Structure 1
Amino acid sequence: MTTTDTPSTAAAPVASLAMITLDAAETEPIAQFWSAVLGWPIVHLSEQYAMLTGPSHALGIGAIPDYQRPSWPDDGRKQFHLDLAVEDLDAAAARCVELGAERPSQQPGETWIVLRDPAGHAFCLTDAAAWG
C-alpha cells in the first residue's frame, strides 16, 4: 500500500490535528519568531502560553519551568521537527537567521537546511517544488 492508498475498511478518523504546541522557557520570543517565519498572527500571548493561528491549524507555545533546549545533532533523541516548504532555500534560511534562528554547522544533506528556532527546536527548510 502506498501512503496515498486508504484501505476500504478504514474506520473514520478518531481526531483531526488542531494544533502543535512547542515547549519553551519564554513564550513571547518564540511566538514572535514563528509569527514572522510563518506569517501567522499571534492571537494570544501571556507569560505561560501563546497561540498563533494559521489557515487550518494553530501553533502553541507553552512556558515550561526548567526548559532544556533540544540538541542538534541529536543522536536520534529528537522526537519531531517541522518541515517548511520554501521557494528559495538560501534566502529563506538567511531570513530565518535574521529573525533569530541558528544554522548548525552540521547539515545532513543538500536538499534541505536544518535550523533551530530561538528555543532550540530543530526545523527544516525544504524546496517547495519537491512537495508537488
Structure 2
Amino acid sequence: MILRHITIDAAKPYELAQFWSTVTGWPLGDGDQPGDDEVLVQAPAPVPGLLFIAVPEGKAVKNRVHLDWGPTERTRDEEVERILSLGGTVHEDHRRPDGRGWVTMKDPEGNEFCVELSQAEIDG
C-alpha cells in the first residue's frame, strides 16, 4: 500500500492549493484551474501530494490531523515569517527560551499546521 495524497476539505480548493504550492514550492496538478472542485499540489516522490476538495460546510472545530513541517532552506523563525507574509496566521506559539519548540499556524481557511525547527537547527 502507498499513501498517495493527504486530502484537505476546502471552501476554495484552487486558492488554498495556490497558498500551499507557494509554501512548499511544489507545483499544482496539470490542468488544475480556478473553480475546480479538486486541486492537487504535487509533491516530489515518494512524498504524498496535497489534494484539496471542495466541500459545502466550513471548518467548525480543531483539526484532528495536522501536518508538521520542517524547513529545509530557512530557520523555523524565518519560515514562520515567510508563511505569515503569504497569508498564514499564528495560532499558538510554542517556542521556548532555549530555542526549541514549534509554532502552530493556520492556513487561509483555518487549517492548523506546525512549523518545527529545521534539521540544521536540530543538529546545531
TM-score bracket, shorter-length normalisation: 0.7 to 0.9
Quick one: distance in 1 between partners of 2:112 and 2:94? 12
In the alignment, structure 1 segments of 5+ residues that lack a partner are: 1-14, 72-77
Quick one: distance in 1 between partners of 2:60 and 2:24? 21
Q: Which residue of 1 aligns with 2:76?
A: 89
Q: Are residues 1:80 and 2:65 paired?
A: yes
Quick one: distance in 2 between partners of 1:102 and 1:30? 14
For normalisation by structure 2, the TM-score amounts to: 0.79
SS in 2 for 1:103: strand
In the alignment, structure 2 segments of 5+ residues that lack a partner are: none
Q: Which residue of 2 aligns with 1:100?
A: 87
Quick one: distance in 2 between partners of 1:101 and 1:55? 23
Quick one: distance in 2 between partners of 1:26 and 1:70? 18
Matches within 5 A, 1:22-61: 22-43=8-29, 44-45=32-33, 46-56=35-45, 57-61=48-52
SS in 1 for 2:6: strand
1:70-125 deviations in Å (ceiling 9; x for gaps): 44xxxxxx311101001411110011011110112x33453111110011111001
Q: CA deviation at 1:68?
A: 2.1
SS in 1 for 2:116: strand
For normalisation by structure 1, the TM-score amounts to: 0.75
Quick one: distance in 1 between partners of 2:87 and 2:61? 16
* Aligned structure 1 segments of 4 or more residues deviating by more than 3 angstroms: none
State the number of aligned residues: 110
Contact 2:66 2:113 in 1 (8 A): yes
Residue identity matched to 2:37: Q
Residue identity matched to 2:50: L
Q: Which residue of 1 aligns with 2:58?
A: 67
1:31-54 deviations in Å (ceiling 9; x for gaps): 111000100000123431100111
